[in-house]
């Protein structure tokens, strides 16, 4: 039996029981009506976010899949990754045992003429073709759902291997059972129980029905399955809704991971501040053991060693950043995630010229357009905000050093100062906020001249992010305020808040309450400009689940 939905073919290989027969009717209707964006922005259920959000694509978007490749997706569910694979590869075949999920997949991807969905049990399916890539995304954790065997995890890997062409690759993603979030009270994703994976799944009657692995365990399993050549990646905060992807070649340092309280699926307990624990874990170079999940590529090596995605903006400002290995060394590429975003990428070259001599002690990092992307060399060094980490428990030195940095790295030619005046360009970006105090501006302003965008090297300091450069007047003290504001709230609040309040912190640097209030309003309107009115592009905040804390954790 075969059914066509648009250009997509669904082949029925069996008439078994659909585990989701009485679920996801709402998802199917949303896809039929073409209302995915509206549903995401107005919903709050995990099913909508998990199955329909394009943030799911961040997991595999950076992988280089040749245009003539054929891909087999085992356990495709509702097609959150299928559309991406169809855009990358020549042909995509999905194997899924849920009719409801298959209908959702076909409906949302109905315009893909290179997609075929096989509805059936993996045990029984026989294919007359081989594939360049086989994906097992979230499948290996519950192998008995897909294959009946005494050791279902090994049998599943062997089955996946049997579908490969010579030189073919397997791509799998799975939770790390020793991930920090599971140690800190997050429920196991499949059993929905606290400490289930930490306690080796002893709460299950059938111990092989669900199982995740530590990194050494997963490496051993892959080795036993003849998949000894593999590359590990670490999606953060996890593989289901990743924002950043690290690798063994480029792991995060202390002060880099700030995903505390990012949980969308279930309410959970917090016993400690995960960001602070990750700081120590990263300092001790143990991130790969305690990362929340794994993405593994078998039989291949990706040149991309880091990827970051910014999707929660309006279309012109959605962007990805990749760091990749080349024969000439590491390079950084910024690329648009939408057709409208190409203009913002092209402006980077113009912005570079505008800020060449903006600051006395900080030069813009030279880059150039390369195809659809903006490329510059990766500089060995340390970001300015990271150098403050050693002072995190010494508030006096932290403040003194921060003040030194402001004085030095925001230093400019005083002769270029001009009295600030409100212009139409200012109103477009910052709304009707009019500073009620006199201030000065510079001929051009780099709004992203903040601590984490300044890199210290042996050759000096470089500003490496200049996406937001404007040539109309902006109070220069707003740029300094913004850098200090982000330093406190985004990076060091957990260390500073019990030693100095934000109010005292910002006043230490000479900002009055009137200035702080005005610059807060400017920042809010700027974010609305980037994310859309009403912050509709930042829809994930609607889905955040409740966090319970132990009394000892109340300070966080």
Domain ranges of the chain: 1-129, 382-541
User: What confidence score (pLDDT) does residue 552 get?
Assistant: 43
Residues of the chain above pLDDT 90, percent: 87
* Out of 278-287, 457-466, 544-553, least confident range: 544-553
Mean pLDDT for 260-288 is 94
* Out of 177-191, 246-260, 526-540, least confident range: 526-540
Angle between helices 476-486 and 513-531 (to 10 degrees): 80
Q: Max Cα separation, the chain? A: 79
- Cα distance from N-terminal residue to C-terminal residue, the chain: 57
Q: Which of 13-22, 63-72, 427-436: highest mean pLDDT? A: 63-72
Residue 537 in this model has a pLDDT that exceeds 70? no
How far is it, in rounded angstroms, from Cα 243 to Cα 134? Answer: 23
pLDDT class for 553, splitting at 50, 70, 90? very low
Mean pLDDT for 132-152 is 94
How far is it, in rounded angstroms, from Cα 74 to Cα 66? Answer: 19
Residue 331 in this model has a pLDDT that exceeds 60? yes
User: What confidence score (pLDDT) does residue 126 get?
Assistant: 87
- Nearest CA among 325, 330, 333 for reference residue 378: 330
Q: Record the pTM.
A: 0.95
How far is it, in rounded angstroms, from Cα 367 to Cα 356? Answer: 12
Mean pLDDT for 255-268 is 91
How far is it, in rounded angstroms, from Cα 261 to Cα 277? Answer: 13
What's the token pair of residue 379? 């500089």
Task: Report the 3 state secondary structure along 297-326.
Answer: EECCCCCEEEEEEECCCCHHHCEEEEEEEE
Mapped onto helix, strand or coil, the DSSP state of residue 502 is: helix
Q: What is the pLDDT of residues 340-389, one digit of tens each?
A: 999 999 999 999 999 999 999 999 999 999 999 999 999 999 999 999 99
Count of all residues that appear for the chain in the document: 556
User: CB within 8 A of 145, min separation 6: which ones?
Assistant: 19, 75, 97, 139
User: What confidence score (pLDDT) does residue 543 get?
Assistant: 94
Which CA distances in Å does 406 have to 41, 395, 454, 535? Answer: 39, 16, 12, 31
Residue 260 in this model has a pLDDT that exceeds 90? no
Asked if 115 and 10 count as a contact pair (C-beta separation under 8 A), the reply is no
Residue 47 in this model has a pLDDT that exceeds 70? yes
Give the CATH number of domain 1-129.
3.40.50
pLDDT class for 550, splitting at 50, 70, 90? low
| Residue that is written with structure tokens 């050693």 in the block | 390
Please give the backbone phi and psi of residue 538, each rounded to the nearest 5 degrees, phi first: -100, 55
User: What confidence score (pLDDT) does residue 520 get?
Assistant: 97
How far is it, in rounded angstroms, from Cα 373 to Cα 332? Answer: 10
How far is it, in rounded angstroms, from Cα 517 to Cα 512? Answer: 9
Count of H-run helices and E-run strands, the chain: 18, 25
Residue with more model confidence, 359 or 145: 359
How far is it, in rounded angstroms, from Cα 449 to Cα 465? Answer: 8
With residue 78 as reference, give the H or E element that holds it: none
What's the token pair of residue 266? 């279930």
Mean pLDDT for 209-225 is 96
Asked if 120 and 13 count as a contact pair (C-beta separation under 8 A), the reply is yes
């Amino acid at each position: 039996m075969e059914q066509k939905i648009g250009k997509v073919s669904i082949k029925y290989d069996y008439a078994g029981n659909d585990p989701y027969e009485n679920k996801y009717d709402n998802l199917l209707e949303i896809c039929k009506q073409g209302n995915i964006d509206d549903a995401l922005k107005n919903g709050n259920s995990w099913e909508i976010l998990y199955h329909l959000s394009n943030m799911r694509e961040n997991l595999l978007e950076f992988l280089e899949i040749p245009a003539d490749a054929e891909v087999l997706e085992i356990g495709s569910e509702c097609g959150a990754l299928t559309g991406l694979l169809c855009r990358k590869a020549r042909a995509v075949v999905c194997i899924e045992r849920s009719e409801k999920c298959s209908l959702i997949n076909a409906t949302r991807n109905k315009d893909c003429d290179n997609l075929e969905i096989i509805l059936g049990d993996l045990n029984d399916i026989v294919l007359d073709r081989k594939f360049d890539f086989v994906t097992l995304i979230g499948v290996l954790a519950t192998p008995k759902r897909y294959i009946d065997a005494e050791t279902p995890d090994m049998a599943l890997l062997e089955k996946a291997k049997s579908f490969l062409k010579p030189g073919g690759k397997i791509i799998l993603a799975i939770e790390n059972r020793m991930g920090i979030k599971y140690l800190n009270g997050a429920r196991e994703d499949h059993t929905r129980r606290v400490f289930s994976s930490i306690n080796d799944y002893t709460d299950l009657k059938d111990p092989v029905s669900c199982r995740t692995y530590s990194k050494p365990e997963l490496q051993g399993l892959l080795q036993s399955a003849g998949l000894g050549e593999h590359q590990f990646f670490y999606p953060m905060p996890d593989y289901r809704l990743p924002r950043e992807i690290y690798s063994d070649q480029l792991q995060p340092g202390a002060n880099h991971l700030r995903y505390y309280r990012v949980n969308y699926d279930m309410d959970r307990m917090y016993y400690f501040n995960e960001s602070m624990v990750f700081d120590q874990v990263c300092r001790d170079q143990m991130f790969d053991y305690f990362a929340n999940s794994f993405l593994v590529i078998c039989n291949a090596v990706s040149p991309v060693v880091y990827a970051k995605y910014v999707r929660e903006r309006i279309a012109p400002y959605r962007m990805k950043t990749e760091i990749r290995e080349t024969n000439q060394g590491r390079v950084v590429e910024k690329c648009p995630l939408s057709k409208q975003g190409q203009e913002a990428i092209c402006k980077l070259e113009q912005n570079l010229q505008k800020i060449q001599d903006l600051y006395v002690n900080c030069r813009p990092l030279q880059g150039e357009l390369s195809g659809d992307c903006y490329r510059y060399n990766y500089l060995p060094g340390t970001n300015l905000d990271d150098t403050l980490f050693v002072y995190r428990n010494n508030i006096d030195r932290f403040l003194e050093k921060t003040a030194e940095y402001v004085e030095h790295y925001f230093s400019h030619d005083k002769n270029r100062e001009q009295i600030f005046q409100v212009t139409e360009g200012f109103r477009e970006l910052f709304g009707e906020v009019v500073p009620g105090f006199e201030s000065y501006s510079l001929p051009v302003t780099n709004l992203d001249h903040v601590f984490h965008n300044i890199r210290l090297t042996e050759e000096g300091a470089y500003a490496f992010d200049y996406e937001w450069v404007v040539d109309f007047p902006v109070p220069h003290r707003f740029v300094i305020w913004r850098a200090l504001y982000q330093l406190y709230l985004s990076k060091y609040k957990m260390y500073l808040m019990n030693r100095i309040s934000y109010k005292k912190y910002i006043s230490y640097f000479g900002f009055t309450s009137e200035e702080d209030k005005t610059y807060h309003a400017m920042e809010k309107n700027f974010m609305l400009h980037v994310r859309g009115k009403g912050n509709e592009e930042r829809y994930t905040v609607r889905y955040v689940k409740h966090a319970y804390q132990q009394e000892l954790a109340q300070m966080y």
